[in-house]
Structure 1
Amino acid sequence: MGASSSTEKISAEQHELETLATSTGSLPSLQKAFEKLADPQTKSIPLKSLQKCFCFNFREPISQASHMPENFPKLLSNLGTSIVDLFFITDKEGVDWIQFLRGYIKCCGRMPTSALINILCKLYAATSSKAGFPLKVEFESDDIDCKISGYFTSRDVLMFLPICWIMSQSSRMLKLSQGQAKIEMPDTNHLLLSAVTSCAEDVKGLNVWDCSISDMEVQLPAQKFHMWVLSTVPTLAHCFTQYVHARIRRLAISEDNLEHSNLPISDICFTESPSKHLLTCGRAWAISLTLRSTISEEVLNTCITGNADGTNHNLLYSSSIHGRGLNRFWSNIEGYHGPLLILVSASSGNIDESNSTVDRWVIGVLTEQGFENKDQFYGSSGYLYALSPIFHVFSPHGKDKNFVYSHLHPSGRVYDPHPKPVGIRFGGTIGNERVSIDEDFARVTVRHHAVDKTYQPGSLVPNQGFLPLEAPILDVEAWGLGGQMAKKKQNAYQNREQLFTEQRRKVDLKTLGNWEDSPEKIMMGMVSDPNKPHREER
């Protein structure tokens, strides 16, 4: 295809490549993009045009207030040429249709996640080399699944993560840029600390509560870093695929001018704006990188989209807004039948505004269903997260299914000699839960993973130890990730419950005024003279 007509014979290689492109759903976009970029005479795309397709366009100088690493603009400037040199290989001045298809399949074809991580590392190494600061990483061969050796430094990872963020959000930025894009980087310090503590060997004395990320100089073995991405943030490997696909698709639907498919950048800010919520953009992105379902996009939407007044309909409950306590929490999340993300911020020391050395941390729980008032564990799946100061994810273990426990006080006043605990719990067993939040939302208890066979082992809080960690709660949030339909159903449920409550409060004054026929008069008569016969009049 490309510049050829339907009557021309195509080679076996072209047929195979077009079949692979069809399986990705991108063949029509590739055809349109090739027609716009290709020279009609040579029937090939000039290398400069293809490089421009994948480049960023800086229309204004980068501001000094953006706190950007010195080498980062050079990385972005060389990204497009590195993509073309690595994947669209040609010995001519242009890329023909077959080479264009072959390059796209190398970037976006179906392949294992480990191979995608290798491709991402190769691209970053090539871009760094073109920018003038080569990495200490080597690849055994040109194969996508080749072994990787050497090491990354913590500064390499510090710039690697923002590059991945820009590539993964390129499609969204193109839609919202309206001529120019001001890119605000999410805070990735918790991800960097996760990589450092998981991969580096000489970080025993590292204080994760108080360390300078920019001044850190730690070596991360390349193979261990590869495994960290694969086990902790696997969907990070898809950011390059998303970037290439977004650029090709944008070029296919844009006007003839190549500028319409490019992303003009006016400024890049490496300091994330302060958030009034626990779920910051950086934490939401980290959580989304652990998920392979549609929930991943919903998590990102909680921070990227919102109303003009700063509110977000995905936020179902916040203790700072709705008040503390299980009853207030329940009144806001009841009737929501969809995935929920619960975030808890706590302190390992005494809460004092004048004390700046208090170790604050944030943990999260993702459930794939709404909450139910039960005196036993329930649920089908879930994830535990350590979100701050260091990021870790604990997926289901597969042995037990004690995902969620949420129990309110019984409505009736029936005596129970063995009452079940009231509150919210995650993992473990009743009395030995992995995470336990009390009824008043005043304290949270985090226990060692040895008591839990539901979630994977690991510390939710740095230096957690074997003994239960009980800490005062600073804030609690609940975010709905079921989309608009789940929220509409909850609104309908709450409106229906409010209507029933108002109806029960209404009193029939006519019945109340007829004392002779009221059951209260009959009961009082029986109490005053229980032996008096009561004959029913027929």
Structure 2
Amino acid sequence: MGASSSTDNPAAAEAREQESLAAASLPLPLLRAVFSSHSSDLPSTLSFPPATFHSPPDHFHDLLAALGPTIASLFFSPTASTSSSEDWLGFLKGFNACCARARASLPLAHLLRVYAAACAAAGAPCGVRFQPDDDDGKVVGELAPAEIAALLSMCWAMAWSGSATTPRGADEGAEKEPVLLPDVSSLVLSALVSAGAVADDAAVWGWDVSAAAADGKGVSAQEFTSWVISTVPGLGSCLSRYVQDRFRSCQADPVKGISVSAGNTTSDASDVYLLTRGRAWAISLSVRNALSEKFLSASVIGMDTEDLLYRSSAHGRGLSRFWSCVEGYKGPALILLSAFSNAGGENVDADQRWGIGVLTEQGFENKDTFYGSSGFLCATYPIFRILLPSGTEKNIMYCHLHTQLKTYEAKPKPLGLAFGGSIGNERIFIDEDFSKVTVRHHAVDKTYQHGSLIPNQGYLPVVASILDVEVWGLGGQTTKHQQDVYKKREDIFSGQRRKIDLAAFGNWEDSPEKMMMDMVSDPNRNQREER
């Protein structure tokens, strides 16, 4: 008495549970449309769109060709031609297995299973293998450096396919220019250093993926999983995003037109900046907020040059030039810096180029104290690392320059740009001229997590020469428009302050200034005041 229908029909209750779980990823009407029209040919539905990549890894195109059939065979059981309730439930279970939210290690395990099976189908070497009878999707084995590079390139291509897809039947046979894959060597090196396969020393400069294959040093599946969770947690969602993008594309309305192709050619101009597509993709996999989509788009089509607030090679060096470009921008920003260590350094190899970056979630302010609410540090080259806030202190950033109203200070605060640490012992400090940068060991900093920003950094401060500095605004058009309004208002105020009202002054001949000037020019001349 009073029993619910779910008790009488467990299959219906299970179907509702699976539908509720699937609706969190894609709308149920879209899933039903995909099931009714494409369930009999899911390998084709999930297949990678036609594309040619420039200088891909070995077996890369065969790997992408095997992607759709591999996903269909691992997660979606064959369905009958009639759309029965059992087939619909099996379809939902397969979709939820690869797309529903789960703990961090499970999506990555599914991705490695797909990669291992696709490599087997494409005849590509793969050192990892999965245990089909294990419910947790445990993956065992070892990944060689070239295999890590192929896996990362495959994941980027899966993200690219979601941005560059056209509706089915809409000029799919048109010939397109080759797509340039981003450079993932800093990510591969980061995984090897994290696992201890490569020492964090002078050997990282000049390191090459192809040359590392002869060393025979790889990363175990468990070590690779640990590195992904700590450094690039967004990598595990690549499979879920790819399946959802494929389902959306097969139900796109061709009447509404073709989406703009995001393909980039071999003459990609975006990599002339410090924010290359490879670094933008690495940051998109690291951040856990809405900025991830911004960096993912930048990795596919390049960053919009209108978002470039400051570049030292174009706008000039110095804190005043920097401030004239970023003043009034009240939004998140990415600061990238390229430098090389000076000759004669004891703790860093001389004449080696490296790059670091800082992501802040608020605008720049001219203060003599630290400020900020959140941000993170990262090493961009030659090793990619991410250092999140520790939560202990809030010395996120420091920006101090002289203003027009100068006052006497017994202990003047340093002029420059800094991040982390404390005044006098900053984690990163850029001097007023933007010619030198000082990077200190993490022992002086309680704001950001521990970790070195430069290979073989050591405990002593590292003073290096700056090559270039870039600042990218990430607040969108609204924030940029607010900055333009602010600058226009400041220009009006500056013009009013420079304007001199001559009528407010008296006659020059009767002024005390005129008398003083005459005395200086001829002090022996008698001056008589008429009363």
Is TM-score (shorter-chain normalized) higher than 0.5?
A: yes
| 1:109–1:519 Cα change, 3 Å | farther
Q: Which letter does structure 1 place at the counterpart of 2:495?
A: E
1:366 partner SS:
strand
The aligned residue for residue 231 of structure 1 is 230
2:283 partner SS:
helix
The aligned residue for residue 488 of structure 1 is 481
The aligned residue for residue 74 of structure 2 is 86
Q: In the TM superposition, what is the alpha-carbon distance from 1:522 to its structure 2 partner?
A: 13
The aligned residue for residue 42 of structure 2 is 50
Q: Which letter does structure 2 place at the counterpart of 1:185?
A: L
| 1:203–1:516 Cα change, 3 Å | closer
Indicate conservation of the 8 Å contact 1:188/1:282, yes or no: yes
Aligned residue pairs, count: 491
Q: In the TM superposition, what is the alpha-carbon distance from 1:320 to its structure 2 partner?
A: 0.5
Taking the aligned partners of 1:518 and 1:175, their CA distance within structure 2 comes to: 78
The aligned residue for residue 220 of structure 1 is 219
Indicate conservation of the 8 Å contact 1:444/1:470, yes or no: yes
Taking the aligned partners of 1:324 and 1:254, their CA distance within structure 2 comes to: 50
The aligned residue for residue 313 of structure 2 is 320
1:197-218, Cα deviation, whole Å (9 max, x unpaired): 1114365777111122123122
Indicate conservation of the 8 Å contact 1:56/1:264, yes or no: no
Residue 443 in 1 paired to residue 433 in 2? Answer: no
The aligned residue for residue 251 of structure 1 is 250
1:472 partner SS:
strand
Q: In the TM superposition, what is the alpha-carbon distance from 1:159 to its structure 2 partner?
A: 0.3
Q: TM-score, normalized by length of structure 2?
A: 0.85
Q: In the TM superposition, what is the alpha-carbon distance from 1:381 to its structure 2 partner?
A: 1.0
Residue 17 in 1 paired to residue 18 in 2? Answer: yes
The aligned residue for residue 426 of structure 1 is 419
TM alignment of 1:472-487, pairs within 5 A: 472-487=465-480
1:244-289, Cα deviation, whole Å (9 max, x unpaired): 1111111122359xxx9999999996x9767221111111111111
Q: Which letter does structure 2 place at the counterpart of 1:84?
A: A
Q: In the TM superposition, what is the alpha-carbon distance from 1:110 to its structure 2 partner?
A: 1.8
| 1:517–1:29 Cα change, 3 Å | farther
Q: Which letter does structure 1 place at the counterpart of 2:183?
A: D
1:361 partner SS:
strand
| 1:207–1:93 Cα change, 3 Å | farther
Taking the aligned partners of 2:242 and 2:444, their CA distance within structure 1 comes to: 43
Taking the aligned partners of 2:202 and 2:431, their CA distance within structure 1 comes to: 32
Q: Which letter does structure 1 place at the counterpart of 2:63?
A: L
Taking the aligned partners of 2:321 and 2:265, their CA distance within structure 1 comes to: 40
Q: In the TM superposition, what is the alpha-carbon distance from 1:139 to its structure 2 partner?
A: 3.4
Residue 406 in 1 paired to residue 394 in 2? Answer: no
The aligned residue for residue 33 of structure 1 is 34
Q: In the TM superposition, what is the alpha-carbon distance from 1:97 to its structure 2 partner?
A: 2.1
2:192 partner SS:
helix
Q: Which runs of 5+ in 2 are unaligned?
A: 1-9, 345-349, 518-531
1:151-198, Cα deviation, whole Å (9 max, x unpaired): 111111010001110112222111599745542211111001101111
Taking the aligned partners of 1:154 and 1:135, their CA distance within structure 2 comes to: 11
Taking the aligned partners of 1:204 and 1:277, their CA distance within structure 2 comes to: 26
Taking the aligned partners of 1:152 and 1:133, their CA distance within structure 2 comes to: 13
Q: Which letter does structure 1 place at the counterpart of 2:48?
A: F
The aligned residue for residue 336 of structure 1 is 329
Q: In the TM superposition, what is the alpha-carbon distance from 1:485 to its structure 2 partner?
A: 1.1
1:117-169, Cα deviation, whole Å (9 max, x unpaired): 11111111111111123533243555563433221111110100011101122
Deviates more, 1:276-285 or 1:437-446: 276-285
Q: In the TM superposition, what is the alpha-carbon distance from 1:68 to its structure 2 partner?
A: 2.0
Q: Which letter does structure 2 place at the counterpart of 1:55?
A: S
Q: Which letter does structure 2 place at the counterpart of 1:337?
A: K
Question: Which structure dedicates a bigger proportion of its chain to helix?
Answer: 2
Taking the aligned partners of 2:261 and 2:363, their CA distance within structure 1 comes to: 42
TM alignment of 1:517-532, pairs within 5 A: none
Taking the aligned partners of 1:332 and 1:88, their CA distance within structure 2 comes to: 53
TM alignment of 1:265-280, pairs within 5 A: 275-280=271-276
1:465 partner SS:
coil
Deviates more, 1:14-23 or 1:247-256: 247-256
Taking the aligned partners of 2:207 and 2:20, their CA distance within structure 1 comes to: 51
TM alignment of 1:130-145, pairs within 5 A: 130-133=121-124, 135-140=126-131, 142=133, 145=136
Taking the aligned partners of 2:436 and 2:332, their CA distance within structure 1 comes to: 24
Taking the aligned partners of 2:403 and 2:364, their CA distance within structure 1 comes to: 16
| 1:266–1:419 Cα change, 3 Å | closer
Q: Which letter does structure 2 place at the counterpart of 1:197?
A: V
The aligned residue for residue 102 of structure 1 is 93
Indicate conservation of the 8 Å contact 2:308/2:472, yes or no: yes
Indicate conservation of the 8 Å contact 2:164/2:261, yes or no: no
The aligned residue for residue 369 of structure 2 is 376
The aligned residue for residue 204 of structure 2 is 208
TM alignment of 1:169-188, pairs within 5 A: 169-174=160-165, 179=172, 182-188=178-184
The aligned residue for residue 56 of structure 2 is 68
Q: TM-score, normalized by length of structure 1?
A: 0.83
1:341 partner SS:
strand
> Which of 365, 369, 394 is matched with 2:358 structurally?
365
| 1:265–1:448 Cα change, 3 Å | closer
